[in-house]
Amino acid sequence: MNENNSFRISEEKRRVLLIEDDIICQEMMKASIGDTYDVIVATSGEEATGIIRAQHDTLSMILLDLNLPGIKGIDVLKSIKSDPEFSHLPVIVMTSDNEAEVECLTLGAIDFIPKPYPASKVILARILRTVELSEDRETLRLTERDQLTGLYNKDFFFRYAAQLDLYHKDAPTDAIVFDVNHFHTINDRYGKAAGNEILKRIADNAIAYVSEAGGIVCRSGADTFMLYCRHIDDYEALLARLSANLDVEGSGENHVRLRMGVYLDADKSIDIERRFDRAKMAADTARDHLTAPVGFFDHSMREAEILEEQLIDDFSTAIREKQFVIYYQPKFNVKNDKPYLTSAEALVRWKHPKLGMVSPGTFIPLFEKNGLIQKLDYYVWSETACHIKDWKERLGVSLPVSVNVSRIDLYDPDLTEKFLQIAKTGGLDPQDLLLEITESAYTEKTDQIITTVKNLRDLGFRIEMDDFGSGYSSLSMLSTMPIDALKLDIQFIRSAFKGQKDTRLLEAMIGLAKSFEVPTIAEGVETDEQYSYLKAMGCDIIQGYYFSRPLPVDEFEKYIVLKLKSEDDLCLPLKN
């Protein structure tokens, strides 16, 4: 075969295989369609089969004469339609025998051209229509499926799920989401190919299930699957079935565990995507629970959902009416004998008119999910800049403050511009603003993020890596990272002093920070003991209830005035 034949460019003439032994018929057909199509001829079933096998991906359609020497035309049709590799090729049958039509149609022929041939125009129009139809179908087949697993993709899944509802209005139906626990660690440990293999096996298990029990399934994200099926009772059994045969090759044990969220007897009056959001919510309650890997959507989640809806609805008003307020928590440099106030962290709270004080733990993750965080953060940064300016002017105090920068902010192409503008409006120096960026922000789209952070740093803003130790940044990445301080994840302090004290990990983290020659910050420091240990281990800056809780701006003002008025006060932690 000519190598170029394997390429198919849409501008090229489409290729038609004409299976016809009669020379006159061959010539007539070529005369009719040869200007539009590249016609190749096979004069027997045997020859045709060889050509199809070798060149099927260059063929647009097949014209088949039923009356052939050797293998019968009808058997050629059967063999084309039974082979999954070329069964999608459209076949038009040519015959003078009206009786054969029905049989050929049931065998998968798409159309007929009667013999003797009709006018050229008619033949051409039929072939054109057939080719177009089948190409549309092929495009659809490719776009509606996930390439790796062959399952539907999410969009088509939702469409077909809605169709399923139409046909089974009253049947109780469950929306199920399942995924692989810690899939990234499987990829890390065994490689991407092994990860893909596992996803394929899960897909195969799911297909086997729906082909038996009904329903549809799709892969909706990297390792996340969705299943929409008739209500069942035994989810443990379903999970076991989906998890069958997933051992990583050669590891000898089954490392791969699935977890599942179920929205039982889903309410069909709500949007199909929303039903799966609920299943996802339920799945999140099952994370890491070895003993209870299946979570169910329940009343309390419904309440959480209602609260989330309310918070989203109220957001714009809250910004307009300045319901978001900023608290400040001091950070102390503890390198010398006497700790001194070196900066503060701005932490947002929502003074909600109906709900009272709402903590950021409730709304930050929600706003990170739906993008509102960008507006909120911008508001917090601007307000903070106003406060810094006010302290300078009114109190004669210049105190740098750190603000939290969310991962999503880092994708904003105008981010550096925004910070410059905020600093300019407040008459601030970039040094007055410290930017806390959580470690996990660096692990996705690393290059882009590092470039953004470098730009900010070049402009004079100082960068603190927040929650250090909670993400997955590699050591080599850390050494190239543009940062001015590492802020240990609060969990290290918690676990080091919980129950049986074990500060080895904490010490190792501080040592690691030292090797990068950047100062370490510990937050969440509450007790004398924690304070003394951290100081002894070489921690540079300390933040926590030990010095002060986060304070509303008026109280924080009094606090700094007090700190700065008396030299002696500087070394006395303000106990709450």
Query: Which residues would be at the binding site for ligand C2E (CB under 6 A)?
Result: 329, 347-348, 359-361, 364, 373, 377, 380, 404, 406, 466-467, 490, 523-526, 544-545, 550
Half-sphere exposure of 56 (CA within 13 A, CB side): 15
- What residue type is assigned to position 308 of the chain? E
Under rule CB under 5 A, how many of the chain's residues touch Ca ion? 4
CA triple 554-361-474, angle to 5 deg: 110
Q: Which does 373 bind (CB under 5 to 8 A by kind): Ca ion, ligand C2E, none?
A: ligand C2E
| Partner in contact with 94, chosen from ligand C2E, Ca ion, none, beta carbon below 5 to 8 Å by kind | none
Question: Which amino acid appears at position 174 of this protein?
Answer: D
Residue closer to Ca ion, measured from CB, 20 or 467: 467
Give the Cα separation of 372 and 376 in Å (integer). Answer: 6
Distance from C-alpha of 513 to C-alpha of 481, rounded to nearest angstrom: 12
Say if residue 40 is exposed, middle or buried (CB neighbours under 10 Å; 0-12, 13-18, 19+). middle
Tell me how far apart the alpha carbons of residues 326 and 346 are, in angstroms, rounded to a whole number. Answer: 6
Interface residue with Ca ion among 223, 409, 467, 507 (CB under 5 A) is 467
Is residue 466 involved in binding Ca ion (CB under 5 A)? yes
Report the interhelical angle of 192-213 vs 183-190 (nearest 10°).
130
We find the least distance from the C-beta atom of residue 492 to ligand C2E, in angstroms, to be 12
Smallest gap, in angstroms, from Cβ of residue 415 to ligand C2E? 13
What letter would DSSP give residue 394? I
Nearer to Ca ion, 59 or 385 (CB): 385
User: Minimum Å distance from CB 471 to Ca ion?
Assistant: 11
Applying the rule CB under 5 A, the residues between 379 and 408 that interact with Ca ion are 404
Measured from the CB atom, the residue of 308 and 466 that comes closer to ligand C2E is: 466
Cβ atoms 266, 275 nearer than 8 A: yes
Q: Which helix (H) or strand (E) holds 390?
A: helix 373-390
Part of the chain binding Ca ion (CB under 5 A), chosen from 125-133, 237-245, 369-377, 460-468: 460-468
Select from ligand C2E, Ca ion, none the partner in contact with residue 195, using the beta carbon and a kind-dependent cut-off of 5 to 8 Å.
Answer: none
For residue 209, give both structure tokens: 């299930």
- Number of residue whose CB is nearest Ca ion: 436
Tell me whether residue 32 or residue 404 sits nearer to ligand C2E (CB atom).
404
What are the E-state strand segments in 115-198? 173-180
Contact between 540 and Ca ion by CB under 5 A: the answer reads no
Sort residue 14 into left (φ over 0), alpha (ψ -120 to 50) or beta: beta
Residue number, 377 or 540, with CB nearest to ligand C2E: 377
Q: Compute the least distance from the CB of residue 319 to ligand C2E, in Å.
A: 13
Cα(240)–Cα(291) distance, integer angstroms:
13
436 near Ca ion, rule: CB under 5 A: yes
Q: Where on the chain is the footprint of Ca ion (CB under 5 A)?
A: 404, 436, 466-467
